[in-house]
Amino acid sequence: MKTLVLANQKGGVGKSAVGSQLAYYLAEKGKRVLFLDFDHQKNSTKPIVKSGRAAVASFHTTDLLLGQAGVMPDGNFVIVPGDDSLSSLERQPDKHNIIANALKAFLEKYDAQFDVCIVDTNPNPDIRYAAALITGDFVLSPIQLNQEAIDGIGSLLNHSRYGYRKIKQAINPKLELIGILPNMVEPTPFQRANFAQLAKHFAQLLIATGNPDMPYAHIPKRSSIAEAQAEGAFLATVKKTAAREAWREIKPSFDVIAQRMKLEV
C-alpha cells in the first residue's frame, strides 16, 4: 500500500477536492483505496460518504490515531471518517507519541488489503499533519496561484517542525514530494504570470507531465468541480458537458500523479 498525504498549511486550496476525486478515480480503475480524513471539518468525509462509493468504517480517525480503531469494513474502497475530536489531539501532548505510532501500526496492519491510502489533512499543521508526514510515502500539495500561496511554499518545505525537508531528513527518509499542484487555475494574465514565476523558481517542485502542450500538472477552476464535491459525485460520471470537459482537463494530471506513485491505471 502506498500512502499519499494531501498537505498544505493553507486552507481552501483544494486538498479535499483533489483527494476525493483522486480516490474515486483510483477506485474506478480497480485500485483498492483506503481514505483517511484527518480534518475535523470533514470536507472529504461528507462528499465521499454521500457518493455511496465507499464503505464507511464504524470508527473515526480520532479512534485510529489513539490506537483504538475498530473492525475494518469489507470492500475495495473504504473511508475512515473524520470527527470533531480530531482538533483536540494537539492539546494532548502526552498522546503525541501514541498518535504517530498508532498510525504507523494501522497502516502496516492494512498494508496488504489496499493498494493506496489517501490521507486528507487539516490546514494549520499539528500532530495529525505531522503523524501523516512521518508515516506517509508521498506528499501532494495543491496550491493556488496567488503570491501569498507561492510564498507559502517555503514553509511547506522548510518549516522548522513540519517542513517536508525536516521530516524527511529527521524521521521519514522514504517520504517523497510528488510536487505542488496548482489548483483553481484561471486563464487570467495575473495567474499566467504567477504560473510562469512558479515554473521559473520552483520547476523541480512542479509535476512534469512530459506533454509540451501541458508541461506541468494543474487543475483549472471549474464550477463543475465544486458542484461534484457538493453532491458527492465523481466528476467523470457527471452527465453535463461542462463536467465532461473539466474531467478531460483534469485526468492527465491525475494520471501523472498515479504514475509517480507507481500505481498503474
219 is a site residue for ligand ATP (CB under 6 A): yes
Q: Which of 89, 131, 140, 225 binds ligand ATP (CB under 6 A)?
A: 225
Site for ligand ATP in 141-180 (CB under 6 A): none
183 is a site residue for ligand ATP (CB under 6 A): yes
Q: From Mg ion, ligand ATP, none, which one binds at residue 215 (CB under 5 to 8 Å depending on kind)?
A: none
Reduced to 3 states, what is the DSSP secondary structure of residue 35? strand
222 is a site residue for ligand ATP (CB under 6 A): yes
Q: Which of 4, 5, 7, 17 binds ligand ATP (CB under 6 A)?
A: 17
Half-sphere exposure of residue 108: CA atoms within 13 angstroms, side-chain side = 8
H-helix or E-strand spanning residue 199: helix 189-201
Report d(CA 245, CA 24) in Å as an integer. Answer: 17
Q: How far apart are the first and last CA of the chain?
A: 15
Nearer to ligand ATP, 39 or 115 (CB): 39
Q: How far is the CB of 120 from Mg ion (least distance, A)?
A: 6
The single-letter code of the amino acid at 81 is P
Q: How far is the CB of 11 from ligand ATP (least distance, A)?
A: 4
The single-letter code of the amino acid at 228 is A
Query: For residues 153 and 117, is the Cβ–Cβ distance under 8 A?
Result: no
Cell of 88: 483536540
- DSSP classification of residue 160: T
Q: From ligand ATP, Mg ion, none, which one binds at residue 226 (CB under 5 to 8 Å depending on kind)?
A: ligand ATP
Q: Which of 4, 5, 13, 156 binds ligand ATP (CB under 6 A)?
A: 13
Segment contacting ligand ATP by CB under 6 A, of 37-45, 102-110, 188-196, 233-241: 37-45
Other C-beta atoms lying within 10 Å of the C-beta of residue 81: 21
Q: From ligand ATP, Mg ion, none, which one binds at residue 232 (CB under 5 to 8 Å depending on kind)?
A: none
207 is a site residue for ligand ATP (CB under 6 A): no
For residue 4, report the phi and psi dihedrals to the nearest 5 degrees.
-110, 125
Binding mask 112-141 for ligand ATP (x = CB under 6 A): -----------x------------------
Report d(CA 133, CA 107) in Å as an integer. Answer: 13
Segment contacting ligand ATP by CB under 6 A, of 24-32, 131-139, 218-226, 257-265: 218-226
Report d(CA 238, CA 57) in Å as an integer. Answer: 26
79 is a site residue for ligand ATP (CB under 6 A): no
Query: For residues 169 and 132, is the Cβ–Cβ distance under 8 A?
Result: no
Which residue ranges make up the site for ligand ATP (CB under 6 A)? 11-17, 39, 41, 43, 123, 183-184, 219, 221-222, 225-226, 229
